[in-house]
Structure 1
Amino acid sequence: MATDPELAGECYDRIAHLDGLSERKMFGVLCFMQYGNMICGVIRDGLMIRVGKPNMQAALALSDVEQMEMNNRPMSGFVATSYDTSHEVLDSLFNLARDFVRNLPPK
């Protein structure tokens, strides 16, 4: 599956200032990592964002946000957003993701 460059840019623009960034193909999609821990990825027509289990309730309360599923199975700690999710919602999700991932040990 080809990665949408606009969505990839949306991810990268929100995390470019972080140290330890890298890109990796995981789950068949382009993912962005911080010190080896996934922050977000570009999926079908949206984004997959790792907010962590502690932040799931807050993330799911936002509009246009669903629990991420892979092969019809929920992915704990991950949410999915559509291509047209508002910038305000994306800002909130990326804040949750950065707060969660920064506390993980490097891989």
Structure 2
Amino acid sequence: MAYDDGLAERIRERLGGDPAVTERRMFGGVAFLYEGNMAVGVTGDDLMVRVGPEGTDTALGRPGTRVFDMTGRPMRGWVVVDGTAVAEDDTLDSWLAEGRTFAASLPPK
């Protein structure tokens, strides 16, 4: 599956200056990891965000979100945000901050 390189580039512009952030191809898309823990990614035209189990319900209440489910088994702690819902930079920045904050709460890998 191809992924939206434009969205990935917008993420690179925002996170690329942080030496704790690395990029890795996975899930047929691209993932951005903070100290080895996945924070956000791009799959297809959408943004994947790691919000943690406690943040899932709140995140799903935001516009354009759905449960992350690639295998028929929903993954609690992750949400998918429709690419059109992150067209505005402020909205994208908010989601990136949320994913990075959760990833930073985990022990480095």
Normalising by structure 1, report the TM-score: 0.85
The residue correspondences of 1:1-107 to structure 2 (distance < 5 A) are 1-86=1-86, 87=88, 88-107=90-109
For residue 93 of structure 2, what is the amino acid of its counterpart?
D
Q: Contact between 1:63 and 1:89, CA under 8 Å: does it hold in 2?
A: no
Mind listing any 5+ residue stretches in structure 2 that lack a counterpart? none
Bigger shift: 97-106 or 80-89?
Answer: 80-89
Shift of 1:67: 1.3
Moved over 3 A (4+): none
Mind listing any 5+ residue stretches in structure 1 that lack a counterpart? none
Q: How many residues are matched?
A: 107
For the residue of structure 2 that corresponds to 1:93, the secondary structure is: helix
Normalising by structure 2, report the TM-score: 0.84
RMSD: 1.7
Identity between Structure 1 and Structure 2 (%):
37
Higher normalized strand content (fraction of residues): 1
Q: Contact between 1:62 and 1:89, CA under 8 Å: does it hold in 2?
A: no
